[in-house]
Amino acid sequence: MSEVDVVRSSSMADEHVIEQAPQSGTGELDALAAALRDGQPSAVEGIYDEYGGLVYTIALRFLDSPERAEELVQEVFLAMWERRASFDPMRGTLKSWLCTMVRSRALDMLRADRRRPRPAYSLDSADGDRPAMEIPDPSRASDPAAVVETRAVLSALDILPDDQRETIELMYLAGLSHSELSGVLGIPLGTVKGRVRLAFAKLRQHLGIHLEVES
Amino acid sequence: MTTCAEWEEEYLESLAAGSGPSLEVLAHMESCPQCHLLLQKDRQIHDALKEGVRVVPPPAALKSRVLSSIQTSPSAPQLHVMTEGSSPARSSRQLHRGSILIARLAAAAVILLASGISAVNLARSSSVTNAAVALQLPGEPVTYGIVQVHPASGIAYLANASLPAPTPIEGHASEYELWYIPSGGVPIPKGALVEGPDGQWHGAVRYPVQGSGLIAITVEPAPGTMKPTSLPIAAARV
């Protein structure tokens, strides 16, 4: 028996950073959530279009592996479908629910293989040939100073403790409020506020000279 | 609020919410020498994070796989299966032929595997693997698709299958139907391939993680059958 050679799909490494898609209106998201609860499969496509990138990015951030991130995205959306009856819009948004699921399952996967979480935003990618996050190029920007500042801040995220960095990343990646972050992370609201403040203090300290010059 | 830390927390929360600080917060931070220094710096960091922390788009094929897995989920309400005799498209002769073909399906799939040309064997892989799989329609040139197997999850995805629209069977619509054939067992219908916007066909099969068997594709009368009525056009061992 001659086995067909296993080939790697080039799409697996097809990773680019794009502008975040404009968020659908609240009414449209409510309709999607209602359709999901009603068991309409078509709702899944709309939800994926809205949040697939977010779920994938969070998965990638935790797992640092496009293949495993894809696997996790599939698991999360399948779990969303199979547990759709348990989604309660009064307890949180669909986005928060998805963030909670992907985070929880990613942590389970990491615990299972005892790997330490790696930040997807690290400037030094794990495999050396795949930047986990695109760093803006000042030479091609309309506002080079702003790009330099963005580069500096993104670089500085790596100095934050894991809990503060995760909080900041989820806050800006998902656009979650502090209350929503409290639910997703499973920590008190005051702890979220404290983490954000401490993270900003560390970023200010780290970037102090740079920001003084810029200002 | 009594401390500058709490004022700053309120300020940062308002930035994240995009609502802007309340007059109360702004009044304190403008008048407090310590907080005043933070106003601009926090705003600069916030702007940089908002600009730089972005969603990474997933591979385009992932969407099809996600939707296929929903379609073949046990809780999906629209499984493309039916009970024997419930289809007006199928005659009693077809049903008889179908029952005979059950045994032949597994045998034919094994033959496909043994040929090494038109089938793929992923049984020895323990991690997620992608492999090319040949698709052989009768009288048509061989085409190819990608099979991705997730052993830990018990899910196999067929993606980017270059197939023509299934030929009608005796004037009735047909479809590409997926099967899981456990070792020593009978074929289990696993839904139909769906055509993506790119004209390629995609599908997913969930199978027992601890089990072993074959995944096969046949052409069946729509909306699917409980037992195969034709020989497989592709097979993969999982």
Nearest CA of chain A to the CA of B161: how many Å? Answer: 13
In contact, B66 and A56? CB cutoff 8 Å:
no
The domains of chain B are located at 4-52, 81-237
**Is 90 exceeded by the pLDDT of residue A124?**
no
* Rounded-to-integer distance, Cα B56 and Cα B90, Å: 48
Angle value at C-alpha A106, between A103 and A108, nearest 5 degrees? 110
In contact, B234 and B217? CB cutoff 8 Å:
yes
Q: What are the residue ranges of CATH 1.10.1740.10 in chain A?
A: 20-118
* Rounded-to-integer distance, Cα A207 and Cα A146, Å: 14
- A203 at interface of B, judged by CB pairs closer than 8 A: yes
Half-sphere exposure of A151 (CA within 13 A, CB side): 14
Better-predicted residue by pLDDT, A113 or B201: B201
- A113 at interface of B, judged by CB pairs closer than 8 A: no
Tokens of B165: 């629209």
pLDDT of residue B83: 25
**Is 70 exceeded by the pLDDT of residue B147?**
yes
Q: What is the pLDDT of residues A132-168, one digit of tens each?
A: 445 455 455 555 556 666 777 777 888 889 899 999 9
Over residues A109-115, mean pLDDT: 73
In contact, B174 and B220? CB cutoff 8 Å:
yes
Which architecture characterizes domain A134-215 according to CATH? Orthogonal Bundle (1.10)
DSSP single-letter state for residue A91: T
**Is 70 exceeded by the pLDDT of residue A52?**
yes
Q: What are the residue ranges of CATH 1.10.10.10 in chain A?
A: 134-215
In contact, A17 and A133? CB cutoff 8 Å:
yes
Chain B residues with CB-CB distance to A115 below 8 A: none
* Rounded-to-integer distance, Cα B45 and Cα A198, Å: 13
**Is 70 exceeded by the pLDDT of residue B99?**
no
pLDDT of residue A211: 52
Which CATH class name applies to A20-118?
A: mainly alpha
Q: In percent, how much of chain A has pLDDT > 70?
A: 67
* Cβ pairs bridging A and B (under 8 Å): 198
**Is 90 exceeded by the pLDDT of residue A55?**
yes
A12 pLDDT band, cuts 50/70/90, is: very low
Helical ranges in chain B per DSSP H: 4-17, 23-31, 33-52, 60-71, 92-115
Q: Give the SS3 label for residue B52.
A: helix
Q: What is the ipTM of this complex?
A: 0.71
Over residues A33-49, mean pLDDT: 86
Q: What is the pLDDT of residues A73-92, one digit of tens each?
A: 999 999 999 888 888 888 88
Better-predicted residue by pLDDT, A100 or A28: A100
Tokens of B236: 């993969």
Partner-chain contact B56 A1, CB within 8 Å? no
pLDDT of residue A53: 94
In contact, B221 and B90? CB cutoff 8 Å:
yes
Of A21, A52, A200, the CB nearest to B58: A52
Q: Which of A9-13, A120-124, B140-144 is predicted least confidently? A: A9-13
A31 pLDDT band, cuts 50/70/90, is: confident
Q: Are strands B155-161 and B201-206 parallel, antiparallel or unpaired?
A: antiparallel
Tokens of B83: 């009970």
Question: Of A115-124, A205-214, B90-99, B226-235, where does the model show the most confidence?
Answer: B226-235
* Rounded-to-integer distance, Cα A194 and Cα A166, Å: 13
- Tell me the pLDDT of chain A averaged across its residues: 74
Of B143, B148, B133, residue with least CA distance to B59: B148
Partner-chain contact B13 A193, CB within 8 Å? yes
Partner-chain contact B62 A173, CB within 8 Å? no
Q: Which residues pair with B73 in a beta bridge?
A: none
Nearest CA of chain B to the CA of A173: how many Å? Answer: 6
Q: What is the pLDDT of residues B164-206, one digit of tens each?
A: 888 888 788 888 888 888 877 778 888 888 887 778 888 888 7
**Amino acid sitting at position B139:** G
Of B75, B8, B89, residue with least CA distance to B46: B8
Question: Of A192-206, B66-80, B95-109, where does the model show the most confidence?
Answer: A192-206
